[in-house]
Amino acid sequence: MAPKLLMLTAICRLIVIVGLTLNPNDLHLIEPEIQLSFNRTDIQSASSDFGKTVTQSPVAVLHPSSPTDIANLVKLAYEYGFAVSARGHGHSINGQATTANGVVVQMTRSPRSPVAAPLPVPVVNEKLMYVDVWGGELWIDVLKCTLTYGLAPKSWTDYLYLSVGGTISNAGISGQAFNYGPQISNVYEVDVVTGKGELVTCTEDQNSELFHAVLGGLGQFGIITRARIALEPSPQRVRWIRVLYSNFSSFTHDQEYLISLHGQPNSQKFDYVEGFVIVDEGLINNWRSSFFSPSNPVKISSVSSGGNVLYCLEITKNYYHHSDLETVNQEVDALLKKLNYIPASVFTTDLPYVDFLDRVHTAELKLRSKGLWDVPHPWLNLFVPKSRIADFDQGVFKGILGNKTSGPILIYPMNKNKWDEETSVVTPNEDVFYLVALLRSALQNGEEALTLERLSDENRRILKFCEEQNIGIKQYLPHYTTQQEWMDHYGEKWPQIYKRKMEFDPRHILAMGQRIFEPSF
């Protein structure tokens, strides 16, 4: 540990333990009320993440009560040279929100957040249809708040127990992205603490370089303390439909057709387009597909000629209390008529909008009750260009994966024109690209095919296949360990990323768990 951090540690320990109010000359930037936590439980939970494959312990954890707390800590880190990582809900896979020997800023509300100075609550502007939220706010709480005004964010992730700062540091995608773009295309304004400890408000027009830098910025350029999120009138109900395909090109043809309807009036398009791959029969009832329920059984044998890969298209139609059900049915039928799925394979359910958005949490609770949630998750998320998705299908779904996958495999296309090129995220260079998400759980005591080693090795083989076949993938929620790999990942964008880093975090103190830049202290 750096001697200066040791000193800080010692002084802060004193502040915490003895309750001293210090005013040393070189620590004048730290407010007496900032108290770093050295609590073992805090340190432990900040050391790991959802992936459960990487452990790195910070020296201390800050539970901020305001952006100023964070700015003061970062100023100190900038001056003395130690690492600071924002941590949202810790749902990364490879230790991206952790840092060894530095301070983790726990952005979400927690029982250990200061009671005397609570974090800002969401503030809705009904007229201009936006909500201002704390960077550590969970999307589920954003939704609960906006619904009291009959409003809801437009673009989602499949799972809502993620923080706003965490998802918009990546992109934030789900089945609405074809129409509204990722979550980062639906942010109007952010407050950011830069790597120099400056607190800056940014929009498209004001401090626009920092605005674009932090969106999809993997925490490299600043800590987002507030985000202004676009809202729309909230639907109340959802018609949720799944249909099956055995032919990959019919499946992708239909998905691409459906996303080409973006910008059309509501009556002429679905509101959400996703899909998943079924390489083994067991998976039909995986945690992402719980509505193939006993009351709605899937007779896979009736649609599969044994051992074949199946593809499931998942679509929804939102509607309102005042909607005429007959019209909703007609709109859905008209859209379904244009698709080429296996005729006997339509599965439909109807549920409240909130229950649809929060569907993965329902699955989470079931997995938790079986002890299957807190296990290692060697997840791999890839953006695959449309022109090569058939090659990917042959090589990976019908090749490398075999018939045991240990978790859902999502696949859905998005329109590149809904992504702002100025942000820090990188996507393949085609008008349409697919997300392929291999969301697998390792079960150490389970079958050999499902161990962490086996699944990690499969991930490596998939990446090698993509490289050898020159598929042109980009990793989403990327994970690399050398700067050369990061330079390859960013490609033409690397000089811009480097320049942004030099400008906004010149000492490389922020989000070192991403392993993009070496520390310069």
Under rule CB under 6 A, how many of the chain's residues touch ligand FAD?
36
**What is the rounded distance in angstroms from the CA atom of residue 510 to the CA atom of residue 505?**
7
Cβ-based nearer residue to ligand FAD, 276 or 341: 276
Whether 437 contacts 379, CB under 8 Å: yes
Minimum distance from residue 3 beta carbon to ligand FAD (Å): 25
Half-sphere exposure of 363 (CA within 13 A, CB side): 20
**Least Cβ distance, residue 10 to ligand FAD (angstroms):** 26
As measured in angstroms, the least distance from the Cβ of 381 to ligand FAD is: 8
Least distance from ligand FAD to the Cβ atom of residue 114, Å: 18
Q: Going by DSSP bridges, is the β-strand pair 272-278/310-319 parallel, antiparallel, or unpaired? A: antiparallel
Least distance from C-beta 116 to ligand FAD, angstroms? 22
For residue 20, the SS3 value is coil
Distance from C-alpha of 96 to C-alpha of 374, rounded to nearest angstrom: 18
Exactly one of 158, 254, 271, 505 is catalytic; which is it?
Answer: 158
User: CA-CA distance, 513 to 232, in Å (whole number)?
Assistant: 35
- What is the DSSP secondary structure assignment for residue 281, as one 8-state letter? G
Only segment of 21-29, 36-44, 217-225, 457-465 that touches ligand FAD (CB under 6 A) = 217-225
Rounded Cα distance between 249 and 235, Å, is 32
Would residue 489 show up in a list of annotated catalytic residues for this protein?
A: no
Binders of ligand FAD among residues 66 to 85 (CB under 6 A) are 85
Of 38, 50, 465, 480, which lies in the binding site for ligand FAD, with binding defined by CB under 6 A?
A: 50
Neighbour count for residue 499 (Cβ, 10 Å): 12
Choose between 86 and 382: whose C-beta lies nearer to ligand FAD.
86
Cα 509 off chain centre by: 23
Q: How far is the C-alpha of 283 from the C-alpha of 274, rounded, in Å?
A: 17
Residue 91 annotated in active site:
yes
Strands 130-134 and 222-233 come out as: antiparallel
Instruction: Check if the beta carbon of residue 48 is closer than 8 Å to that of residue 55.
Output: yes
Nearest to ligand FAD of 385, 513 (CB atom)? 513
| Smallest separation, CB 87 to ligand FAD (Å) | 4
Site string for ligand FAD, 164-203 (x = CB under 6 A): -xxx-xxxxxx-----------------------------
- Under 8 Å CB-to-CB from 516, ≥6 apart: which residues? 218, 220, 480, 483, 486, 497, 501
Candidate list 91, 212, 377, 479, residue with the active-site label: 91
Q: Does 90 bind ligand FAD (CB under 6 A)?
A: yes
Burial category of 369 from C-beta neighbours within 10 Å (exposed 0-12, middle 13-18, buried 19 and up):
exposed
Work out whether 219 is an interface residue with ligand FAD (CB under 6 A): yes
Please confirm, yes or no, whether 468 is among the known catalytic residues.
Answer: no
Q: Which of 91, 212, 239, 242 binds ligand FAD (CB under 6 A)?
A: 91
Q: Is 87 in the site for ligand FAD (CB under 6 A)?
A: yes
Residues of this chain that bind ligand FAD (CB under 6 A)? 49-50, 85-92, 96-97, 107, 135, 157-159, 162-163, 165-167, 169-174, 218-219, 223-224, 477, 511, 513-514
